[in-house]
A and B are shown apart, each in its own frame.
Chain A
Amino acid sequence: MADLTNTIPDIEVAEGDAASGARGLPVSLLAGGVFVLLGAAFVIFGLDYRLGDLRSMGPGMFPVAAGTLLLLLGTGIAVAGRKGAERLSVIAFRPLAAITASVLVFALLIERAGIVIAAPLLIAGVVLATGQGSWKFALAVGAPLTVASVVIFPVLLGVPLKVLP
């Protein structure tokens, strides 16, 4: 089952970057590295909590044990995959930054300025900064969406959402 998609003939898998020919580090080496870092972080900070003993496990025991396991698994993945054929393809920094920044701005504004400011900014941000459309397009999508979100969430569903600044 592990290579299910590979055994199915004549199907384009929607992974646009697979053939882009970019040559980065092997993905399995990087994945292993991520797990090693995560495991190490949970172990290091977890040692601050009481470990206890096996008979009465303290708050630190489970995360430190799981963190150690993750560290070992990550090391194994990195070592086994250090020469893996699949390389990291180009990171799409533009959508990554645009989506993340727009969501962060929304988070900062939702309680201060309300939905009528936060929603259009989110839409404008994700449409313009990702290069998916013009100002006109952002307005055409954003205006009805803002109205709809005010009507649906605070009015119809009674979600306590700040509407106006």
Chain B
Amino acid sequence: MNWDFGLTSLAGGLLVAVQPINLLLCFVGVVLGTLVGVLPGIGPVVTISLLLPITFGMEPVTALIMLAGIYYGAQYGGSTTAILLKLPGETAAVLTTLDGNAMARKGRAGAALGISAIGSFVAGIIGTLAVVFMSPALVSVALSFGPAENVALMVLGLVAAVMVAQGSPVAAVAMLVTGLLLGTVGTDISTGISRYTFGVPELLDGINFVVVAMGIYGFGEIIANLESASAAPQQKVTGTIGSVYPTRDDFRRSWKAVLRGSFIGSAVGFLPGLGTSAGAFAAYTTEKKLSKHPHLFGTGLPEGVAAPESANNAAAQTNFIPLLTLGLPSGAVMALMAGAMMIHGIVPGPQVMTTRPELFWGLIASMFVGNAMLLLLNLNLVRIWVRVLAIPYRVLFPIVMLLCAIGIYSLNNSAFDILLAAIFGVIGYIFIKLRLEPAPLLMGFVLGPMLEENLRRAMQLGRGDPMVFLQKPISAGLLAATAVIVVLVIGLPALRRWRSTAS
């Protein structure tokens, strides 16, 4: 059993990752990821949902390698759009639009793309190393958890994840609870009673999470995009690209930003809920604070591209830590990954590393491979990605519509699922209009059944006394941490208001 920690296990994983089929699908994943990262109208959530049915016949590890590649590949692609169009292809690339596009306007688009690709690569490697070194420790702690600790952990993970996300924290918790409730639709595992099915036989197995994801993120977002798309003229790609290899001066100015960005991104991405955007934001502000010439940020500094791009890629890797070690998805994409694991018969949690080491370490090792592929793809194929950018949205969205419709049908060969997805499309549009972020709903939906099952078991073991959660030290600690986060998130803005009125 030398799987249990560190580099020997990683070497074993590397053997899995370099199997031809895994290499091929890793490549497919990162290419598709870059593609959807480049395209502003379509994101990794829809893409992963679309490809999930295709992975049914694959080995679980192969499926996860491809789906993960889509996610971190999208982080690379998002920067291309940010630099060339001043539009974030992915939300995490928002800060890259500042200095990246300024560089492009000065005719240095190629250098900006090169810095971003190289920075992303270094960060991807550092982020993945963080996954390698942190996972065994977390797993060894989490393996000893009983139902009470599991419940406390899920509460902490979910609450922390949704409360620090954008928007109102209370509304995010409400979305999370809505997700938990939607997760109860179907046959109750413990008693066999069907809940909220209203006599519809198709609902007995519950609602498929892909239907929810595609409805909300696919159909719902298309409706919202069409609302404004007709008014927006086709964007023109900024200037000429030039050489993608940065100059010696670019390197000198940005290597520290890359390293700092990687570490900040790794740390931020690991915390539940603080996704890739928060990492990029933290890295950019840090770089600006440390700089001798902060006023020049936004005018096309290479370090202003390097910092946020490194951070969002590092965060994209460490985002996997809570899912792979604790079974906690820290966002919409990770919720889908959790669902993908369940479809392939793997319950996300600490036991994955010990019972399925080839899957655990194979997936992590594939991230090194995938990042190397992405570096080459992004340095050499920039001109192809630029042509992708020229596809107008009115061509793109019918393609996405059809792929979603066929993809949903092929999940279970069920036309009912398409109807359901159409309903979730309307719901998703309503969420957008009401400024409600849908990621917490998806997370609650995926984790709901596990939370309920663990809650029931914990209460049974505690003979019906809810104090069981406070009598066990670990679960009490986790719940205390949850309380601290709630107080901080609700209390801090109030404190800030108080300070600003006081000064």
A residues lining the B interface (CB < 8 Å): 1-5, 8-11, 14-17, 27-28, 30-31, 34-35, 38-39, 42, 45-46, 49-50, 53-60, 62-63, 66-67, 69-70, 73-74, 76-77, 80, 86, 88-89, 91-92, 95-96, 99-100, 102-104, 106-108, 110-111, 115, 118-119, 122-123, 126-127, 130-133, 137, 141-142, 145, 149, 153, 157, 159-161
Contacts and interface: CB of A to CB of B under 8 A. Distances in A.
Interface of B: 40, 53-54, 87, 94-95, 97-98, 164-171, 173-174, 177-178, 180-181, 184, 188, 190-191, 193, 195-196, 219, 222-224, 226-232, 274, 277-278, 281, 298, 394-395, 397-399, 401-403, 405-406, 409-410, 413, 415-416, 418-419, 421-422, 425-426, 429-430, 433-436, 452, 455-456, 459-460, 463-466, 489, 493
A7 to B, nearest CB: 8
B131 to A, nearest CB: 23
A95 B226 contact: yes
Contacts of A92: 223-224, 226-227
What 7 pairs across the A-B complex have the smallest Cβ distances? A16-B228, A55-B464, A107-B418, A92-B227, A95-B226, A54-B464, A103-B422
19 contacts: A2-B169, A4-B166, A5-B94, A10-B98, A27-B435, A35-B174, A56-B459, A59-B191, A66-B180, A73-B173, A74-B174, A96-B426, A99-B425, A110-B405, A122-B405, A126-B398, A141-B398, A145-B402, A159-B406
B167 A2 contact: yes
Nearest to B281: A4
Nearest to B273: A1
A145 B409 contact: no
Given A42-B196, A73-B170, A132-B394, A119 B402 contact: yes
A28 B168 contact: yes
A110 B465 CA distance: 52
Contact of A77 (B87, B174, B188, B222): B174
Given A27-B433, A59-B191, A119-B402, 18 more contacts: A2-B169, A3-B166, A5-B94, A10-B298, A11-B98, A14-B87, A30-B434, A34-B430, A34-B434, A38-B178, A58-B191, A62-B455, A76-B170, A92-B227, A100-B426, A104-B419, A126-B398, A159-B53
Q: Is the interface of B mostly helix, strand, loop or mixed?
A: helix
Contacts of A96: 223, 426, 429
A9 B94 CA distance: 11
B453 to A, nearest CB: 9
Q: Is the interface of A mostly helix, strand, loop or mixed?
A: helix
A106 B398 contact: no
A107 B455 contact: no
Which of A1, A28, A45 has the most C-beta atoms of chain B within 10 angstroms of its own C-beta? A1
Given A1-B164, A66-B177, A141-B395, A161 B452 contact: no
A108 B415 contact: yes
B195 A99 contact: no
Contact of A126 (B397, B429, B493): B397
A123 B54 CA distance: 23
B488 to A, nearest CB: 11
Contacts of B433: 27, 88-89, 91
Contacts of A16: 227-228, 231-232
B174 A142 contact: no
A133 B394 contact: yes
A9 B452 CA distance: 43
Contacts of B164: 1-2
A146 B361 CA distance: 40
B401 A123 contact: yes
Contacts of A60: 195
